[in-house]
Amino acid sequence: MKLLLAIMSNDDAPTASSALTKEGFSVTRLATTGGFLRAGNTTLIIGCEDNLVEKAIEVIGEYSSRRTEVVPATSSYDIGRFASFPVEVQVGGATIFVLDVEKFVKL
Ligand code: 2BA
């Protein structure tokens, strides 16, 4: 058995978690904080059989892969005027650890 720790953005976590559940995985969601940006992110804990690890990674990748989105940004011209223009930002992405599980007990 393996334990997956999947760290992803808060925006992607609900859909990734739902998709995993729909595929039959048991998922626990933790509210976590990145040490570098000190911003909130989400860590999914998934315990599954060894042969399902790649499937879990595939599902997570489907809903949290790194992608580029165009968002509106504003700029000030120091004369009380603002302009809005689109900028490309990188969003999403997941960091996944796969650990061996020594023992799994449900009481
Ligand atoms: P990512 O490498 O995609 O990491 C996203 C989040 O995943 C991290 O948030 C952290 O919560 C977790 N994470 C990634 N690698 C990990 C590891 N080896 N062990 C434990 N947790 C891990 P943040 O720490 O807030 O980092 C956000 C982004 O800032 C990172 O994106 C990376 O692009 C950059 N970054 C992180 N640490 C850095 C550092 N020491 N120097 C420069 N850039 C850094």
Residue of 4, 7, 12 to mutate, ligand 1, most atoms within 8 A of C-beta: 7
What local confidence, expressed as pLDDT, does residue 72 receive? 82
Q: Which stretches does DSSP call E strand in the chain?
A: 2-8, 26-33, 40-48, 67-76, 82-91, 94-100
Return the structure tokens found at 61: 């990748």
Using 50, 70 and 90 to split pLDDT, how confident is the model at 104? very high
Domains along the sequence of the chain with CATH = 2-100 (3.30.70.120)
Return the structure tokens found at 15: 């859909």
In this prediction, residues 12-28 reach a mean pLDDT of 97
Give residue 9 CA to ligand 1 midpoint distance, Å: 12
pLDDT one-digit tens code per residue, 42-60: 999 999 999 999 999 999 9
Give residue 32 CA to ligand 1 midpoint distance, Å: 12
Q: Is the pLDDT of residue 26 over 90?
A: yes
Q: Which of 98, 91, 104 minimizes the C-alpha distance to 44?
A: 98
pLDDT one-digit tens code per residue, 56-100: 999 999 999 888 888 888 776 666 777 788 888 888 899 999 999
Q: Which of 28, 92, 7, 20 minimizes the C-alpha distance to 58?
A: 20
pTM of the predicted model, to two decimals? 0.86
What local confidence, expressed as pLDDT, does residue 6 receive? 98
For residues 44 and 60, what is the distance between their CA atoms, to the nearest angstrom? 10
Give residue 41 CA to ligand 1 midpoint distance, Å: 11
Ligand 1, CB within 6 Å, residue ranges = 7, 34-37, 39, 41, 93, 95
Single-letter amino acid, residue 74: T
Helix (H) or strand (E) holding 62: helix 53-64
